[in-house]
Amino acid sequence: MKIVLLEQVEKVGSIGEQVEVADGYARNFLIPKRKAVAATPANIKSLNHLIRQNTEREARGRRAAETTAGRIAELHCVIARRAGEQGRLFGAVTNQDIDAALIAQGVEIDRRKILMEEPIKALGSYTIPIRLHPEVVAELRLTVEHGEG
């Protein structure tokens, strides 16, 4: 099915692009979530107006993400967890724990934006990437130390 994207969709395309996707993907996901519309002449014409509006909104979102990334880069979060003698944690530090540590320091983000391949299961220092915007990734310094947590 030929569609026109209303916003950037990872691995599909960016705003305003006409792309060909599977019918089910378009009907069941992209169109209901208002990420795309069918590529008809009327939709393409109205899309040009939307693109102008989205460009400014995207620029504001990027500036806000860059500001937040600067704040996150200055932070150093410390999470205390119980651990065994070898430095292995009883449990794990997940992106939910990192989100709670960020909120405690006054930075609120969506925890799904914290890019961890797997939970942290050992004591030590880590650099955690946080995707605040498709083009802005912040680096959070995190230390997991022994404690009663």
Mean pLDDT of 12-38: 91
Closest CA to 18 of 38, 45, 48: 38
50/53 Cα distance (integer angstroms):
5
Structure pTM?
Answer: 0.66
CATH code of the domain occupying 2-64: 3.40.5.10
Q: Taking CA 143 as the corner, what is the angle to CA 142 and CA 146, rounded to the nearest 5 degrees?
A: 150
Start-end of H helices in the chain:
23-25, 41-74, 95-104
- For the chain, what are the domain ranges? 2-64, 69-146
pLDDT of residue 85: 87
Give 47's pLDDT tier (boundaries 50, 70, 90): confident
pLDDT of residue 16: 81
More confident residue, 24 or 49: 24
pLDDT of residue 35: 92
Mean pLDDT of 76-91: 92
Position 123 pLDDT exceeds 70: yes
Residue appearing with tokens 């983000």: 109
114/100 Cα distance (integer angstroms):
12
Q: Is 69-146 assigned to CATH 3.40.50.10140? A: no
Q: Is 51 exposed, middle or buried (0-12, 13-18, 19+ CB in 10 A)?
A: middle
Which residues face 139 on adjacent strands? 129
Cα torsion 103, 106, 110, 111: sign: negative
CA 5 → CA 19, 21, 44, distances in Å? 8, 11, 10
pLDDT of residue 137: 94
Average pLDDT, the chain: 91
